[in-house]
Amino acid sequence: MQTQLFINNEYVDAKSGETLSVYNPHDESLVAENVQVAGQADVDAAVAAAKAAFKGPWSKLTGPERSKLMLKFADLLDKHATEIAPLESKATGQPVQVTMMLLGMTSSAFRYYAGWTDKIAGEQYPVVDGNYKIVQHEPIGVCAGIGAWNASPAFFGFKIAAAVAVGCTFIYKGSEKSPLALLALGDLVKEAGFPPGVINIISGDGRAGSMLASHMGINKISFTGSVFAGKKVQELAAKSNLKRVVLELGGKSPSIIFDDADIENALVHHSQNFLFNTGQACIAASRTFVHESIAPKFVEALKARFEQFAHTIGAPDDPKTFLGPLVDGKQFERVMNFMEIGKGEAELVTGGGRHGTSGFYVEPTIFLNPKDDARIYREEIFGPVITIRTFKTEEEAIEMANDTEYGLSACVFTTSVSRALRVAGKIESGMVNINSSQTFGMDASFGGYKQSGQGREGGREGVMSYLETKTISINMNV
Ligand code: TXE
């Protein structure tokens, strides 16, 4: 179990002398107590290593040579996933099947972006003013990433794979709640053959995050987490060196179920998919709108599903477990508090309390017809708590779906293609799932409208966001 900082391809103690402890949310047992916490001197050392790598060996490699290392890393990750997954599960309480899936997303990200290393085309324009113009794209340089705990390995992959594919170097800080699996990846970075300093992995909390956001030697930062912290990152980025910023923040995503929807499919997406990761997913569709003509039947059936899934609650290391605990005591208090508030804002259909007497387990919960200003209807709860309202018309459903400060994801359930595309075109969110939910692929952009973030990860946009654009003009008259 690695607990030191991974800087310049070496595991080192933090100069800060500070450590943090990690506890298992299943039973609050101690998992690790000496995880090194990066202080300013450690962040400076990581930036220096990344800068030296960028100016040195890394910038001399060609695209295909970078691809080779990325593919080797992906293979090593797949080979060691079964050893690394439990490190994540012990810290986050996510069932091992979930952390294995997240590690698979990490290696997929490296494989996907390994295909982009030699495919960034420039542009050239006909001479119109005596100048022959070429537009080319160049790596931004030293970049940093900050991730949350709910999909640690995946956030690591989305951010770093795109950056190194185009020749940037990187310092990554995961969540203080789940440092262990990420630190273990350092060994694989080295074994894959990445030169020292290309990928650095540090641990710490918001303070280390702030040091990255305000560091004058970092040219871009990519953040995944809460809106509150994301705004802090953007503030510090502006106040320091106006580093580029990408923000993947929270959501309170709507889902609209029309009267012609495939009900069984809708039930699967609003139970199994919604409850995946114990509801701790930024793209979870937690505000469901059901056409009034099918609502009573749908709610009854969903209640039965939620009560069935309550039986899949269990220890993260039990392969039969689908619902693990919430990540820690802070989140447990937060979700329990929302459940109590909800009982005064809506009708409790099922759940609404703690599950068992130990560990941070809560019951899958459904609230029906929350008041328009209800906190459970307006705020991101980040737990297995869904709210349901009914609607009469398509216009009313779209109006309610868009009535939020967030704009990350949305779902539309209908068998009419024209209605699906009509509604999708009017929903104010970066992603819309038709007859599905929580779909995610590396090949298309991922990100939010409004306060759900800015910029995109994934796909072509994700890789272009690690490049600067330069226009070269050649005087054709000399
Ligand atoms: O997030 P934080 P937390 C939401 C969700 C959750 C709430 C709190 O509602 O209940 O956020 O979760 C680093 N400058 N989401 O506490 O605080 C921090 O160290 C720089 C939704 O986990 O945002 C960690 O690495 N960095 C989200 C990362 O930011 C700072 C997923 C996330 O921590 C910082 C997670 C600062 N001032 C939480 N403060 C999603 N949409 O997926 C903290 N950090």
CA 258 to centroid of ligand 1, rounded, Å = 34
CA 379 to centroid of ligand 1, rounded, Å = 15
| Model confidence pTM above 0.95 | yes
Q: Is 210 in the pocket of ligand 1 (CB under 6 A)?
A: yes
Q: Is 155 in the pocket of ligand 1 (CB under 6 A)?
A: no
The residue extents of the domains of the chain are 5-250+451-472, 254-437
Among protein residues, the one with the nearest Cα to ligand 1's atom 12 is: 226
**Residue 343 confidence (pLDDT):** 98
Which of 172, 226, 235 to mutate to test ligand 1, by most ligand atoms within 8 A of the CB atom? 226
Q: Is 183 in the pocket of ligand 1 (CB under 6 A)?
A: no
Q: What CATH number was assigned to the domain covering residues 5-250+451-472?
A: 3.40.605.10
Q: Which of 58, 46, 402, 47 is nearest to 243 (CA)?
A: 47
Q: Which residues are catalytic?
A: 248
Q: Is 175 in the pocket of ligand 1 (CB under 6 A)?
A: yes
**Residue 374 confidence (pLDDT):** 98
CA 225 to centroid of ligand 1, rounded, Å = 4
3-state SS, the chain, equals CCCCEEECCEEECCCCCEEEEEEECCCCEEEEEEEEECCHHHHHHHHHHHHHHHHCHHHHCCHHHHHHHHHHHHHHHHHHHHHHHHHHHHHHCCCHHHHHHHHHHHHHHHHHHHCCCCCCCCEEECCCCCEEEEEEEEECCEEEEECCCCCHHHHHHHHHHHHHHCCCEEEEECCCCCCHHHHHHHHHHHHHCCCCCCEEEECCCHHHHHHHHCCCCCCEEEEECCHHHHHHHHHHHHHCCCCEEEEECCCCCEEEECCCCCHHHHHHHHHHHHHHHHHCCCCCCCEEEEECCCHHHHHHHHHHHHHHHHHHECCCCCCCCCECCCCCHHHHHHHHHHHHHHCCCCEEEECCCECCCCCCCECCEEEECCCCCCHHHHCCCCCCEEEEEEECCHHHHHHHHHCCCCCCEEEEECCCHHHHHHHHHHCCCCEEEECCCCCCCCCCCECCCHHHEECCECHHHHHHCCEEEEEEEEECCC
**Residue 98 confidence (pLDDT):** 96
Domains 5-250+451-472 and 254-437 in one fold: no
Q: Is 282 in the pocket of ligand 1 (CB under 6 A)?
A: yes
Q: Is 233 in the pocket of ligand 1 (CB under 6 A)?
A: yes
CA 327 to centroid of ligand 1, rounded, Å = 12
For residue 151, give the ligand 1 atom closest to its CA.
42
CA distance 253 to 405: 10
CA dist 389 → 49, 248, 308, 380 (Å): 53, 27, 22, 17
Among protein residues, the one with the nearest Cα to ligand 1's atom 7 is: 226
Ramachandran assignment for 36, one of left (phi > 0), alpha (psi -120 to 50 degrees), beta (any other): beta
**Residue 440 confidence (pLDDT):** 86
For residue 452, give the ligand 1 atom closest to its CA.
41
CA 229 to centroid of ligand 1, rounded, Å = 6
User: Under CATH, to which class is 254-437 assigned?
Assistant: alpha beta
281-296 pLDDT, tens per residue?
999 999 999 999 999 9
CA 279 to centroid of ligand 1, rounded, Å = 16
Q: Is 232 in the pocket of ligand 1 (CB under 6 A)?
A: yes
Q: Which of 171, 194, 219, 167 is nearest to 55 (CA)?
A: 167
153-193 pLDDT, tens per residue?
999 999 999 999 999 999 999 999 999 999 999 999 999 99
44-48 long-range CB contacts below 8 Å, 24 or more apart?
44/215, 44/217, 45/7, 45/8, 45/15, 46/5, 46/7, 46/8, 46/171, 46/200, 46/202, 47/142, 47/171, 47/215, 47/217, 47/218, 48/217
pLDDT (tens place) for every residue of the chain, 478 residues total: 999 999 999 999 999 999 999 999 999 999 999 999 999 999 999 999 999 999 998 999 999 999 999 999 999 999 999 999 999 999 999 999 999 999 999 999 999 999 999 999 999 988 999 999 999 999 999 999 999 999 999 999 999 999 999 999 999 999 999 999 999 999 999 999 999 999 999 999 999 999 999 999 999 999 999 999 999 999 999 999 999 999 999 999 999 999 999 999 999 999 999 999 999 999 999 999 999 999 999 999 999 999 999 999 999 999 999 999 999 999 999 999 999 999 999 999 999 999 999 999 999 999 999 999 999 999 999 999 999 999 999 999 999 999 999 999 999 999 999 999 999 999 999 999 999 999 888 999 999 999 999 999 999 999 999 999 999 999 999 9
